[in-house]
A and B are shown apart, each in its own frame.
Chain A
Amino acid sequence: MRGVETRDWLRDGLRAVAAGLLGIVLAVLNFPLFVLFLVSLVLTPVLGIGLFLLPAVTALIRLRANAARRVAGWHGVAIARPYRPTPAGLAPVGWGRYKHIITDPATWRDFAWLLPGAVGGLMLGVLTLALPAYGVEGIVLLPLWMYLGGEWSGYGVNWPIDSVSEGFLSLPQGAVFLLLGLVVAPHLRRFDALFARVFLAPTRAAELRLRVTQLTVTRSDAVDAQAAELRRIERDLHDGAQARLVSLGMAIGLAEELVERDPETARKLLAEARENSSTALVELRHLVRGIHPPVLAERGLDGAVRALALTMAVPTTVDSDVTGRLETPVESAAYFAVAEALTNVQRHSGANVAYVSMHRTGDLLRLEVGDDGHGGADPMRGTGLAGMERRLAAFDGTMSVSSPPAGPTIVTMELPCASSSPRTMLSSGTD
């Protein structure tokens, strides 16, 4: 256990140092971008060059800013993209695009960030590298000194170094500096990310605007999905149970007519009718299960998924700590997402085993469905995965699929949830 911790700590430190190096490279890019942006603004009245130049430069700046946002994400500082969505059909250059860009406050906030971001990025980057570098120097100093025999002024607390024994002291000092540098590096990176967030995160207004856009999309998807679902139910009833009942009526009716003249045929018709009535019931049960599975109503997500796993042809294990009941719509969305993923496993994966894991951390429900099949599932292809993603989006849920060509396939879904059971238990406890 301890070894793992040490490795994590070392890995984080080394990564942070590498990120510091990357930070320096990226920070340098800010200067030309800053100049280009100014030039394209100034050149706007001159032959309208800016109308073409500015959109291109802005695209580069946004690329750069998005890189900074992503890097910040590595260090646990999430920064959303603040840009206004581009209206459909807007030309890539020209006045319309120009206006769209300069009226977006995010453009100016990006611009305002370029210089401070560059200076901060350089300083913090150098700082991130300096300490470990000094440590490395201390470690290699003595051998180097002995090898070169040159003049070395000093290291750490020994200044200047007068003897070999003092020279030996640079080794432990260097090790301490290196360790210190590796420990401090992730914190410096995090500080850099926080600094970037001041400029690059959406303002409250932009956040709301983004939220409205997102809600508009998910709402329309949810409404579409709802309508499609109702249509499916209507179709299933019309072609299934309803048609069977009609045919049942026909068979019984004809049997009634024939019972005197042709009792043998009448008996056959009645036997058919009985068979049809049980098939109609089976179809109704299937339909009901597709609308809201009774076991989900009775046992909640945990029980319903376990029940589902039992019916899988591919042996499926369920690992779940989701106890108590979730809000009904969330429960249903989660169940159908898992069911859809398992259906895919059954139909397409060629897997020998599959698993479902469901964990709840605070108000986040994390669902994972994996298999050892041949992989290659593509959310862009086919409607199943894309449909799942849209349905989850209505609950602010997300889905990601990892399915390399040789497998395994892992579908991860996250869904915000507020459990309803603690409330229920509290009220029943006080009653």
Chain B
Amino acid sequence: MTATTSTTTTTGRYAPKPGAAPLSRMIAAQAVLETKMLLRNGEQLLLTVVIPTLLLVLFSSVDIVDTGAGKAVDFLAPGILALAVMSTAFTGQAIATGFERRYGVLKRLASSPLPRWGLMTAKTASVLVTEILQVILLTVIAFALGWSPHGNPAAVLLLLVLGTAAFSGLGLLMAGTLKAEATLAAANLVFLLLLVGGGVIVPLDKFPSGAQDVLGLLPVSALSDGLRDVLQHGAGTPWGDLGILAVWAVAGLAAAGTFFRWE
């Protein structure tokens, strides 16, 4: 590549010329790499794309669960959007970060010029990019299934952002404290439990009233309920659900910040 001829004697090629790249370039490069790694991972794609899509199509077209009055897709689409956020911000991020920690990726990056907060910013950007792709895909499919959403897009955006923050905090808490294998198992288990018990495809009012109160406080319940209020019923800003998500976000991120171990 270089103009000099290749010899075994010194060419000054390795002469020190240290320096960090500009922060914006480092963070952008890191976000692109993280997103590539995420999209390349087959199991992650199953979780973030295949499962939400299948659930949306299946439960909208086959009458398995009683989703109440109105078209099934109007009930399901907001829940599936909540599930998509959870799959990326929580499950996917927890598993990926857990294995990055296990394989020394976080450790190696810690000695690169990229600061830790830069790494976390890049991770967040990567999660957001993936979510945007998910939302686009699922929205197109939902429209094809006859979805007719209402409501204020700003409220929807606010719910998605707070939901992402809440799930990221919990996912990183898990990835930074448990072994990678334990994170893998636990993150999938939690995904499954919240899928069933978090009002994603099964309305919460199918559960006993005592359980409803508790389940309603789960982040995925708050997110799907809030999205449903706005998108299905055209409600204004669902402050209650936003409040629940905010509490989870603050608690989860604070705990992750405190307990996260880098190796």
Partners in one complex: no
**Contacts from A to B (Cβ < 8 Å):** none
**Contacts from B to A (Cβ < 8 Å):** none
